[in-house]
Each structure stands twice: as structure tokens, then as C-alpha cells.
Structure 1
């Protein structure tokens, strides 16, 4: 199960890093022109970039604490924060009628739930 948790964590880290880099460094107008990025038209550039930075920090928080063995409890804490972020994403995409993106966000949410459950529960680091 530890391997499955690491795989889920790696997948979610890749998602967080990709989303964070695009929101932080891709111009808002270009994001808004892409399918799934329409929501950026209705919010400020600072908000989009802030979400991007949060996603990059999530990518770091999902991996580094465990790898460095410094406060590894931050891994499930970060996964729990990701759950909240995905609920917001699902609401946003749902309002825009983007059911495929809601489904995709629910997969990311499920990964985060699995990580939080496993690392807070039966398979903590160092346990």
C-alpha cells in the first residue's frame, strides 16, 4: 500500500506542478482562450497567479517533507488542502457546464483523499 500511496502522490504532484506553472507563468489571456481556462476571464490576474503559486507549493508539500524526512505530516496536510482546492475547482467548472473537467477534478480529489487517508491513517511515514 505504501507504493500505491507514493504513486498517487507522484501523480498528484505532477498535476499540481503542471497546473501551477501554467497559472503562474502563462498570460491570463492565453489561459482564458483555452478550453478549461474560461474561468480566468472573470477573475483578476493576481488571483490566477496566486492559485498557481499555491499549486506549486502543493507540489512541493506533497513530496519534499517525506523525501527529506522533515515534518512528513505535511504530506497529508497538503493533500487535505488539495481536497479543498478541488472542491472549488469542481464548483467553478460546474457553473460553466464543463462536466468533463468536473469529473477530472473529482479524480484529483479522490487521489488527494487516498493520500490523506493513507498517510494520516494506517500508513504514516515512519510508522
Structure 2
């Protein structure tokens, strides 16, 4: 179970470090080709989502790795599930149901990471 957590948690962390980092630092114009939804969102909200994704990525890795408050890994994974629920709702409200596939995969992986993290704790 521990190896499974590190595989799932590591993959999620890499993804969210990349995606969250882009949202946290790039301009709306730079984000638009990859994330069309940013055209209707206030940039402070986009930046907040990016920072939350970065914190989630760090929360998946650092607590279990250092054995300092490893329960935070569960909280980080649940937080990433909530972010993906928000992403799915946003896409559906924009009439972009065809774009929720990645959100569903990330939601499932984050839920699996939350479950696996309970055995790492």
C-alpha cells in the first residue's frame, strides 16, 4: 500500500506542481491556450487555485516523507478532490462537458491517494 501511495501521490504532485505553478505565475494570455476557462474568472481566483494546487502537491509529499504530521497528506488529497469538483462544475456551467475527462481522472486519483494515505499515516 505504501508503494501505491508514493506512485499515485508522486504523479499527482508532479502534475499539480506544474499546473498550479502555471496558474500562480503566468498571465491570463499565457494561460488561455491551455485553460480556456480563465477568460471568465478573476485572476486573483486563478492565482488562488494555483497556490492551492501547489500546497496540495507539497502536502502529498512532505508530511509522509518527513513523518511530521503525516495526516496532512490525507487533507491535501481531499483538498485536491474538492478542487477537481470545482473544475467539473466550472466546465459543466460553461457547456464544456467534453472537457471534464481529465478532471474526473484527477479526482479519482486524488480520492485514491486520500485512501492510500490513511495507510501511510
Match of 1:6 in 2: 6
Distance 1:20 1:69 in 2: 24
- d(CA) in 2 for partners of 1:45 and 1:124? 36
SS in 2 for 1:70: coil
Secondary structure, counterpart of 2:68 in structure 1: coil
Match of 1:16 in 2: 16
Cα displacement string for residues 21-68 of structure 1 (whole angstroms, at most 9, x for unaligned residues):
110111112212x14x12111121111111111111111111001111
Aligned to 1:77: 75
Deviation at 1:118, TM superposition (A): 2.0
Q: Which residue of 2 aligns with 1:52?
A: 50
CA RMSD, 1 decimal: 1.4
Question: For residues 12 and 41 of structure 1, what CA distance do their matches in structure 2 show?
Answer: 25
For structure 1, list consecutive stretches of 5 or more residues without a partner in the other structure.
none
TM-score (norm 1): 0.87
CA distance in 1, matches of 2:93, 2:64: 36
Task: Write out the 4+ residue segments of structure 1 that deviate beyond 4 Å after TM superposition.
Answer: none
Q: 1:100 offset after TM fit, Å?
A: 4.5
Q: TM-score, normalized by length of structure 2?
A: 0.91
CA distance in 2, matches of 1:61, 1:54: 10
For structure 2, the residue ranges without an aligned partner over 5 or more in a row are none
What count of residue pairs does the alignment treat as equivalent? 121
